[in-house]
Each structure stands twice: as structure tokens, then as C-alpha cells.
A and B are shown apart, each in its own frame.
Chain A
Amino acid sequence: MDNSSVCIIVPIFNEEQVVRKIVQSLVADKFTTVIVDDGSSDNSFQSISDLPVKILKHSTNFGQGAALQTGFEFAKKNPNLEIFVTFDADGQHQIKDIENIISPIKENKADIVFGTRFQDDKTKMPFLKRIILKLAIRYTNLSTGVPLTDAHNGFRAMNRTALNEMQLNLNGMAHASEIVAIAHKADLRIAETPVEILYTKYSKAKGQSILNSINILSDLFLR
């Protein structure tokens, strides 16, 4: 299997500073890349429009869950693709980890693989964030019954069986728990792979503030 049958789905929202570099390296590794521009108001779209990637545009900002679902549905339509990876554009995810995260699927040991920050010590993260994430994992584990060590990481890989099950209804950030719940409900084989998350200054500024976890919780409960 070559990299062109691996589809990297990258949701972006106002990432003009960083998106080009990341997309360039994905292209250099010959991955099939689908960018979902979730209504960016900056030049994210223009900054990558000359690269050999597929770009989908939302007319306005709906949230990462909505953007991923758009990517999923578009990717489904390409019969040559076998593995689908969700990847963040803010520089937190490392391209070198893609190989690790897709290997359980290549070996047909899993249908969906979640990247985890907590299986090794590579990822350094702020203390409060660690606490909140641990609580979030507790919640996801309790509500879905899947014992994962990190569920709120945007780095995941899945095969077509898993992709066909994905039907995200939560537009915002709560989709992370939703994906786990769907995987569990559909009886998919679930695996975890350690990945390194770099908390760069940019990604910290862009990423989820701790307060947003309250919004995520309310999305999960009130639906």
C-alpha cells in the first residue's frame, strides 16, 4: 500500500501562518490530502490553493466536528482510498507519527486508531490541561465504555469500515467523544498509538482554552 491510498483530512480555520508548511510536507510524502476550510476569514485558502491537494470550503464557520464530517463524506467518494487520518493543521501533530498511527490498520488489527498523549512521556503539557484532559477521558470512558487513555486528541486513523459509520452530529469540539461513542456502538476494533503533540506557542494560542471544556460538556449533555 502506498501513501496515495492514505487520505489525510485536515480541518482548518484561520491557519494561514502555519497551514502551508504542513500541507507541503504532507504532499511531499505523497499522501492524498483533503483540506476542509471551515469558513476561514484569513488567507488560509489562498496560501495553499496552488498545492496539489483537494480543498473543500464551508461558506461559514461551523466548527471542527462539522468540518471533519465534510471531509469524511468527501473522502468516502474516492474508491482508491483505504485509510483515513484526521490531522490538525496547527502544528501539534507530527507527520512522522502518521506511519505509526496507520500501521494497526495496515496490519488489519484495528478499524480505528486513536493517537494518545498519555502512553509515553514525549508530550509536555501544562498541568491544568493535563487534569482537564484526564477528567475528559474519564467521562468519555464512562459514557462510552471504551477504556482509552486519550480521547480528545484530533489525531486518528480509520479504515473504510469505520469511515462508513461516522456520522458526526456535534459540530463543535465534542465530536471527539462522539467518534469514540460511534466506534464503540458499531463494534469497531479500537486501538491506541502514542503520538507526540507539540505545544507550540501558535497551537497554544489557537488551541482549546480550558474554559471551552465547559462548552464541550454542555454540548455532550444537552442534545
Chain B
Amino acid sequence: MILKLLLIISITFFGFWLIKERKTVRVRAWQKIIILLFVFGIIVVTLLPNLSLQIALFIGLNRATDLIVYGTIILLLFITANIYLKFQDLQSQISRIAREVSIQEGLKNYPSWTEKK
């Protein structure tokens, strides 16, 4: 039980850290590491089905399937959050470009705007 709790807490904090620092090089590298680890983990588990059961039992789950389902859900949430945030960043970049265009247009249309009276 304590192990489960620790796992949930650490995954939550890790997730928040990944979101907050998502623009840093370190986190960008971590994102790739996580996905690679997951792929690697799936391969290992496929080759050694017993291992997944042992890990599951160690964490306190009864079945290996549960372990894989939980892992997949976490990865899915992680990827969704990442795409969502990437999308938001992209939108804010686009709006900055549009802002620049509309301000330049405005300055062109109203040349006296910047003159001191």
C-alpha cells in the first residue's frame, strides 16, 4: 500500500514537473527517454511474461495485465497533456505573429499615431 502511494505521488510530481518545465532541454530529453523506456519495457515484458507478473506483485497489483493497463493509461495521459500544451504554445506563437501584423498595419494606416503632440 505504501509503495502504491509513493508511486502515485512520485508519478504525479514527475508529471507536474514535466509540464512546468516543458520548454527546457532536460525535460524535452526526459520525454523521449520515457517513451523509449516504455517501448523497451513492452518488449521485455513480451519476451519475459513472468517478469511483468513479478513487478506487478512487487508493486502490490495482482495481475500483470493491471500493470500494463495502468502504465498505458499514464503514458496516454502524458502524451495527451504534451500534445495539448504543444498546441497551446503554438497558438500563442501564431497570435504573436498576428499581433505584430495588425500593429504594423495599424501604424501604416495611422501614421500620426506615434507623433508627440
By a beta-carbon cutoff of 8 Å, the part of chain A in contact with chain B is 36, 54-60, 62-63, 66, 69-70, 73-74, 77-80, 169, 171, 222-223
Interface residues on B, range: 20 to 34
Q: Report how far A171 CA is from B92 CA in the complex, Å.
A: 7
Of the candidates B81, B95, B114, B115, the one whose C-beta lies within 8 Å of that of A171 is B95
Q: Cβ of B99 and Cβ of A77 under 8 Å apart?
A: no
Smallest beta-carbon distance B47→chain A, Å = 38
Of the candidates A63, A79, A171, the one whose C-beta lies within 8 Å of that of B116 is A79
Q: Cβ of A79 and Cβ of B114 under 8 Å apart?
A: yes
Q: Report how far A188 CA is from B81 CA in the complex, Å.
A: 34
Q: Name the residue on B nearest A170 (C-beta).
A: B92
Q: Report how far A63 CA is from B117 CA in the complex, Å.
A: 33
Q: Cβ of A56 and Cβ of B105 under 8 Å apart?
A: yes
Q: Cβ of A56 and Cβ of B106 under 8 Å apart?
A: yes
Q: Report how far A79 CA is from B112 CA in the complex, Å.
A: 11
Q: Given the complex, which residues of A lie within 8 Å of B72, measured CB to CB?
A: none
CB contact under 8 A between A59 and B103, given known A78-B114, A79-B114, A80-B117: no
Of the candidates A57, A63, A79, the one whose C-beta lies within 8 Å of that of B102 is A57
B17 within 8 A of A: no
Q: Cβ of B91 and Cβ of A77 under 8 Å apart?
A: no
B101 within 8 A of A: yes
By a beta-carbon cutoff of 8 Å, the part of chain B in contact with chain A is 19, 81, 84-85, 88, 91-92, 94-95, 98-99, 101-103, 105-107, 109-110, 113-117
Q: Given the complex, which residues of B lie within 8 Å of A54, measured CB to CB?
A: 106, 109-110, 113
Count of CB-CB pairs between chains A and B under 8 Å: 60
Smallest beta-carbon distance A221→chain B, Å = 10
Q: Name the residue on B nearest A66 (C-beta).
A: B95
Q: Name the residue on B nearest A169 (C-beta).
A: B92
Q: Cβ of A69 and Cβ of B99 under 8 Å apart?
A: yes
Q: Report how far A69 CA is from B97 CA in the complex, Å.
A: 12
Q: Report how far A57 CA is from B107 CA in the complex, Å.
A: 12
Q: Name the residue on A nearest B117 (C-beta).
A: A80
Q: Name the residue on B nearest A62 (C-beta).
A: B95
Q: Cβ of B19 and Cβ of A74 under 8 Å apart?
A: no
Q: Cβ of B99 and Cβ of A73 under 8 Å apart?
A: yes
Q: Given the complex, which residues of B lie within 8 Å of A78, measured CB to CB?
A: 113-114
Smallest beta-carbon distance B85→chain A, Å = 7
Q: Given the complex, which residues of A lie within 8 Å of B98, measured CB to CB?
A: 58-60, 62, 66
Q: Given the complex, which residues of A lie within 8 Å of B81, measured CB to CB?
A: 222
Q: Report how far A60 CA is from B116 CA in the complex, Å.
A: 32
Most chain A CB atoms below 10 A, which of B84, B94, B102? B102
